[in-house]
């Protein structure tokens, strides 16, 4: 599904954000990426979503080598990878419904499709009853669920979460992790970047450890050891 | 694709209203630029008309000695017509001239009386020569001054309006230079203001734009509303400028007619006749300038 081959990102003059990463992620995997601050976790995600250009090596998605992707192909890539962040990135002046609908609108979906799909996805994240609220009227956990709903709207094969629970308390964190597990069980590959020891230990899934841009371990059922 | 176009247009209009003051300032400057271009167009139309009608009045009249007969006159006329610079040669026989003279003075019995005293027609056969261009008269005068020709001619009359024409050209070219400078200033300001308006719109939408990128909206879709916004500016400004121009023409029309009485020139009619050419060209230029400044703004501020 996703293959990192010798992936390196170099920021002149002397920073190797990631260096020689080799990683194979299969369809349906749930992989946590852990590591200290500055170890290159976010950089790895940015390379996967083509937000940053790869300096050396290749990333293969299915059979598609995205290491030299054209700008006009990036939207196609982004519709296949849903991404969520610590800060949700919701639009404050739009309701929950509109926030999710926006993702479809700007990609050219017909209105009829938007009207049927958005309620469906809101039910998946259990927020259908709050569709007309604004993001500021929701808890952090709920906001992150909206972001997840939006990330899933194009039915991507991969969901990438960069510290999705970084702003959340324990109860909300559990809720989000449970939701990610559920999404993974439904067949979506999940790539989770996290700092949170509890989360990793709770998950009992594959764990990749980065250190100063290099991969130092890859365990089937990892534990947070730092 | 259709959905995208409709949505891009919708987004563009939303932005237009959301930043209505900025939109109004932008359009105002564009309107001023278009108006100043049209001052230029009107002035050159007026001065062309004046110069044309002065030029039309330039001609050479030659009057033949009384002993010259019709055949000689005909010959002379053919000879003149063969000069390439000559546009037309009109024969006015002395009978016709007399007729016209009587017609002209039909209410002045004293003059008609005096005419009766003279038994023979006192007037001479004449030719009126018009050249293709005012510059050509010198050559024609040269031909007329040849001895063989002068032998036939009693006298000739050349009304040269060269000084007047030169003066009109001088004044109008001065006015055109000034209004050209004003126009250029307005065009420059418009480019900056459109550039800035698009930049502000992009700035107020930076969150939306980053979400669009995140969820995989195409670059073309992200840019489209801004380009459409610049088209909206163009359409509104040319529309408003047209309405204002006709209002201005209506207001100054009587004064202009007064000033140009003998030339019989109507600015509104001139614009009506050349409506699509003038405003089509102006719209194309405004659109082009807007699209250029908009796409520079988009390129600079829509990265990443
Ligand atoms: N645009 C950039 N220019 C230069 N260096 C950068 C840039 N982006 C990241 N880096 C460097 O690359 C390294 C990896 O950064 P990255 O953001 O991937 O770390 P991270 O593992 O996500 O950290 P955190 O846990 O704090 O989010 C850091 O040393 C960072 O300073
Ligand atoms: Mg990070």
Ligand 1 closest atom vs CA A45: 18
Question: How far is ligand 1, taken at its centre, from the CA of residue A33, in Å?
Answer: 14
Pick the residue from chain A with its C-alpha nearest to B207. Answer: A91
Query: Chain-centre distance of CA B251, in angstroms?
Result: 20
Is the CB of residue A11 below 6 angstroms from any atom belonging to ligand 1?
A: yes
Residue B64: what pLDDT?
Answer: 83
Say how far apart CA B63 and CA A210 lie, in whole Å.
110
CA nearest ligand 1 atom 30, residue: A38
Q: Report the residue of chain B nearest A90, measured CA to CA.
A: B211
Band of residue B74 on the pLDDT scale cut at 50, 70, 90:
confident
The pLDDT value given to residue A147 = 95
Q: Where are the domains of chain B?
A: 3-54+164-303, 59-158
Q: Using a CB–CB cutoff of 8 Å, tell me whether A154 touches chain B.
A: yes
The mean per-residue pLDDT over the stretch B100-104 comes to: 82
Question: Which residue of chain B is at minimal alpha-carbon distance from A46?
Answer: B214
pLDDT value at residue A208: 93
Residue A213 alpha carbon, nearest atom of ligand 1: 14
Ligand 1 and A39: CB distance under 6 A: yes
Peptide bond connecting A13 to the previous residue in cis, omega within 30 degrees of 0: yes
Q: What percent of chain B has pLDDT over 70?
A: 98
User: Is residue B216 a contact partner of residue B188, using CB atoms and an 8 Å limit?
Assistant: no
Per-residue tokens: A203:
């998950």
Mean pLDDT of B270-292: 90
pLDDT digits (tens, 9 = 90+) for B18-53: 888 888 988 998 898 888 888 888 888 887 787 777
Which two three-digit tokens encode residue B212?
A: 């669009």
Residues 6+ away with beta carbon under 8 Å from B188: none
Tell me if A67 sits within 8 A of A57, measured CB to CB: yes
Reply yes or no on whether the pLDDT at B3 is more than 80.
no
Q: Residue range B55-65: average pLDDT?
A: 81
Average pLDDT over every residue of B90-107: 83
pLDDT digits (tens, 9 = 90+) for B165-207: 778 778 778 877 887 888 888 888 888 888 888 888 888 888 8
- The mean pLDDT of chain B is 84
Contact B214 A89 (CB under 8 A): yes
Indicate the SS3 state at residue B96: helix
Q: What is the DSSP track for A113-157? A: HHHHHHHHHHHHTT-GGGTTS-GGGS-HHHHHHHHHHHHHTT--S
**pLDDT for the residue numbered A8:** 94
Distances (CA, A) of B18 to A175, B12, B23, B212: 38, 10, 9, 19
The enclosing H or E element of B46 equals helix B20-57
B4, containing H or E segment:
helix B2-18
Distance A42 CA to ligand 2 centre (A): 4
User: How far off is chain A from B285, nearest CA to CA, in Å?
Assistant: 30
* pLDDT-wise least confident of A62-76, B6-20, B122-136, B217-231: B122-136
Q: Return d(Cα A54, Cα A57) in angstroms, integer.
A: 7
Q: Could you say which of B3, B210, B217 has the minimum Cβ distance to residue A75?
A: B217
Q: How far is the CA of A195 from the centre of ligand 2 (A)?
A: 9
Q: What pLDDT shows up at residue B1?
A: 53
The protein residue with its alpha carbon nearest to ligand 1, atom 17, reads: A42
Going from the Cα of A9 to the center of ligand 1, the distance in angstroms, rounded, reads 10
Contacts of residue B260, Cβ cutoff 8 Å, sequence gap at least 6: B46, B49, B50
Instruction: Look up the CATH architecture of domain B59-158.
Output: 2-Layer Sandwich (3.30)
Taking the CA of residue B27 and the nearest CA in chain A, the distance in Å comes to 28
How much is the average pLDDT of B268-293?
A: 90
Specify the pLDDT at position A184: 94
One digit per residue, the tens of pLDDT, for chain A of length 226 reads 899 999 999 998 989 999 999 999 999 999 999 998 999 999 999 999 999 999 999 999 988 999 989 988 999 999 999 999 999 999 998 999 999 999 999 888 888 999 999 999 999 999 999 999 999 999 999 999 999 999 999 999 999 999 999 888 988 999 999 999 999 999 999 999 998 888 888 888 999 999 999 999 888 776 666 5
């Amino acid at each position: 599904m996703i293959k990192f081959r010798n992936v390196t990102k170099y920021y002149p003059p002397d920073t190797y954000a990631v260096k020689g990463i080799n990683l194979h992620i299969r369809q349906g995997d749930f992989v946590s990426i852990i590591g200290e601050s500055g170890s290159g976790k976010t950089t790895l995600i940015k390379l996967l979503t083509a937000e940053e250009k790869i300096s050396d090596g290749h990333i293969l998605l299915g059979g598609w080598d995205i290491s030299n992707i054209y700008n006009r192909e990036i939207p196609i890539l982004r519709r296949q990878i849903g991404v969520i962040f610590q800060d949700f990135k919701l639009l404050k002046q739009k309701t929950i419904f509109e926030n999710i609908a926006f993702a479809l609108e700007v990609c050219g979906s017909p209105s009829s499709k938007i009207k049927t799909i958005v309620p469906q996805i809101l039910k998946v994240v259990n927020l259908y009853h709050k569709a007309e609220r604004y993001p500021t009227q929701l808890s952090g956990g709920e906001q992150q669920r909206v972001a997840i709903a939006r990330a899933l709207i194009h039915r991507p094969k991969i969901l990438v979460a960069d510290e999705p629970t970084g702003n959340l308390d324990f109860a909300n964190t559990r809720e989000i992790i449970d939701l990610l597990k559920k999404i993974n069980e439904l067949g979506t590959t999940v790539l989770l970047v996290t700092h949170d020891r509890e989360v990793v230990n709770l998950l009992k899934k594959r764990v990749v450890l980065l250190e100063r841009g290099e991969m130092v371990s890859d365990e089937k059922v990892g534990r947070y050891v730092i | 694709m259709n959905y995208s176009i409709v949505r891009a247009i919708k987004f563009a209009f939303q932005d237009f209203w959301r930043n209505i003051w900025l939109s109004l300032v932008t359009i105002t400057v564009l309107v001023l630029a278009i108006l100043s271009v049209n001052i230029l167009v009107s002035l050159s139309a007026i001065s062309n008309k004046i110069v044309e009608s002065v030029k039309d009045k330039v001609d050479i009249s030659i009057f033949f000695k009384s002993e010259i007969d019709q055949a000689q006159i005909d010959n002379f006329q053919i000879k003149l017509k063969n000069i390439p610079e000559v546009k037309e040669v009109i024969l006015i026989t002395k009978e016709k001239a007399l007729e016209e003279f009587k017609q002209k003075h039909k209410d002045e019995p004293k003059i008609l009386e005096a005419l009766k005293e003279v038994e023979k027609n006192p007037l001479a056969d004449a030719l009126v020569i018009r050249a293709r261009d005012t510059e050509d008269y010198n050559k024609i005068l040269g031909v007329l001054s040849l001895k063989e020709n002068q032998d036939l001619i009693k006298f000739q009359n050349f009304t040269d309006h060269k000084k007047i024409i030169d003066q009109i050209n001088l004044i109008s070219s001065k006015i055109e230079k000034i209004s050209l400078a004003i126009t250029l200033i307005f065009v420059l300001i418009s480019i900056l203001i459109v550039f800035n308006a698009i930049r502000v719109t992009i700035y107020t939408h930076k969150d939306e734009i980053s979400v669009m990128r995140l969820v995989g909206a195409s670059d073309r879709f992200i840019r489209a509303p801004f380009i459409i916004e610049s088209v909206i500016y163009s359409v509104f400004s040319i529309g408003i400028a047209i309405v204002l121009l006709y209002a201005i023409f209506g207001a100054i029309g009587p004064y202009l007619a007064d000033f140009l009485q003998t030339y019989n020139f109507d600015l509104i009619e001139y614009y009506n006749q050349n409506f699509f050419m003038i405003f089509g060209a102006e719209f194309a230029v405004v659109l082009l300038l807007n699209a250029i400044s908009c796409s520079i703004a988009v390129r600079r501020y829509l990265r990443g």
